[in-house]
Amino acid sequence: GAGVSQSPSNKVTEKGKDVELRCDPISGHTALYWYRQSLGQGLEFLIYFQGNSAPDKSGLPSDRFSAERTGGSVSTLTIQRTQQEDSAVYLCASSLDGGADTQYFGPGTRLTVL
Amino acid sequence: AQSVTQLGSHVSVSEGALVLLRCNYSSSVPPYLFWYVQYPNQGLQLLLKYTSAATLVKGINGFEAEFKKSETSFHLTKPSAHMSDAAEYFCAVRRGGGSQGNLIFGKGTKLSVKP
């Protein structure tokens, strides 16, 4: 079946611009996670959704970062007023029901802020 | 708080040799542990996971890992390396408590396989 998909695969933007990154989880998966992968910080958790609600936003690095999920499916991660330190690969994962269920990862969006 | 430490950012083996990638964890609750593999420009793929059942866990592509509570370790092994195993490997522990379950990753180990 279809896996987790993310778009765009690559995004180059100028400092100060806003960007939106999209994640389509596996159909039927209620849990959705965003992670960020960068050279300096490794893989970091950003935010967790269960259905449409986000009970854990503890990993968001600043108030420039926000995310939403609609219809219990697609999620969008928005970064406002991008900075060069936001350059990273943003990975989305989904799992059947959170907890210890296996998380399936998408291919990621590589964000470059010039 | 939980954490994972992967010893060795780079490991190089010859084709056909044993692969051993080390992972030690810290957890105040019984841990759920995972190994993921990442090929260049791709997402993460689950190799195997430990969720408190058998301590020896077998995964895909001939990999296995043994949970050792006394050593707080979850090392990944494969008896015979193949060129296609060249990739980056991440050990992770599930954040404990509640139903949340985000993963806390180690820094990763890049495996090179020499012909």
What percent of chain A clears pLDDT 90, i.e. is strictly above it? 77
Helix (H) or strand (E) holding B88: strand B87-94
Strand, coil or helix: what is B61? helix
A52-97 confidence digits (pLDDT tens) = 888 788 899 999 999 999 988 999 999 999 999 999 999 999 999 8
Q: Kindly give the confidence (pLDDT) of every residue in chain B, 115 residues in length, as a single tens digit, with 9 standing for 90 and above.
A: 789 999 999 999 999 999 999 999 998 888 899 999 999 888 899 999 998 778 999 999 999 999 999 999 999 999 999 999 999 999 999 887 555 678 999 999 999 999 9
Helix (H) or strand (E) holding B7: strand B3-7
pLDDT confidence bin for A1, thresholds 50/70/90 = low
The residue of chain B with its CA nearest to that of A43 is B105
The residue of chain A with its CA nearest to that of B38 is A107
Q: Quickly count: other Cβ atoms within 10 Å of residue A95's Cβ.
A: 19
Contact B83, B113 (CB under 8 A): yes
What backbone phi and psi angles, to 5 degrees, belong to A84?
-60, -30
Partner-chain contact A59 B102, CB within 8 Å: yes
Partner-chain contact A102 B46, CB within 8 Å: yes
Q: What angle do CA A22, A97, A38 make, to 5 degrees?
A: 45
**Exposure letters A26-63 (e unless 16+ CB within 10 A, then b):** beebbbbbbbbbeeeeebbbbbbbbeeebebeebbeee
Distance in Å, alpha carbon of A83 to nearest chain B alpha carbon: 23
Partner-chain contact B107 A42, CB within 8 Å: yes
Partner-chain contact B32 A33, CB within 8 Å: no
